[in-house]
Structure 1
């Protein structure tokens, strides 16, 4: 569990949609998704996101010590970025010499960060997010975990709404059918691209059962909002 939090929620900059999807499809998916988030009141305020981060740490017993490996991995990542950007070393050579795989930094992760952090100034901004104190950990979780919570809230609302009209189908079918209707309403698209778009939007949230039960109570007011009646 701690490995999941350390690597996914802090070290990596969480992407809602697949890096392998066509850029235009990802933009379309993001637009449709953001519209739904707003319409169904699933966007968290900064205060709600920070409170959720605090609650998550309490729920999972997370502390600065829990993120030691993530902090070390992030330091290695930053060292590598500086070697490429400032010392002009070859990315593949840096990846191997720093043994990034040992720190759960995959070639795809490395490639992503190389594209995103191309200047010393950008790397310095990333360095400020090394999870080596409680304040940074809370800020990191508030920034990144909120995306998981928001998507999970929307998923729950989709299931609430769909259960009224199609109670006897699986949750996966309910979610896919709901997004198919949204795509039909908002995008002029067909064929394989349409299937890919619906697939991107229909991806389930990887929410552990213990957390899901906790958030159902914590965000009860949001799950019972008027938007659920649509």
Structure 2
């Protein structure tokens, strides 16, 4: 029963990894939204500066007497606009990185979910192997004599025959593969083929002895 326990522990670890990854993805999304808001603020400020520049240029044309002061103000405004453009480029690059990180984390979450599903399937297979191994061990415990084969009890026909019947024994080795799924009756027939062979040999031997 060690395999199912290990599978359970591994599934719990994968569940924690999925939760941590989802949390990191949410944090990345929050940071992405923050960068977008900052970019919008920078864009708004740049638009305001652009409008101010246009207004100052118009004032410069209409007021030659204050041209020198307006030129100085215009220079400061253009410098601020350049800084705003640089900040906008920085935030755009951060947004691209954030989008890539969110996509990567989303793919990892999907991968971990697939691993979680596969782990559940492996756990079921582990239980099936343990069940078959236990059934094989019980079959081996019946004990077949190594000397001349003795006649095994057969099922009788008629009243009370159910008392002599035993449940079918599956002696298939664990992990054996079948080409297709069979019904319970077909599976029992395949599993009991070696035992039926022994019974047929025993019957033939008894018949030959009676003829002598």
Q: Give me the TM-score of the superposition, normalised by structure 2.
A: 0.23
- Higher RCO (CA-CA < 8 Å; seq separation 6+): 1
Larger Rg belongs to: 2
Question: Higher helix share goes to which structure?
Answer: 2
TM-score scaled by length of structure 1: 0.21
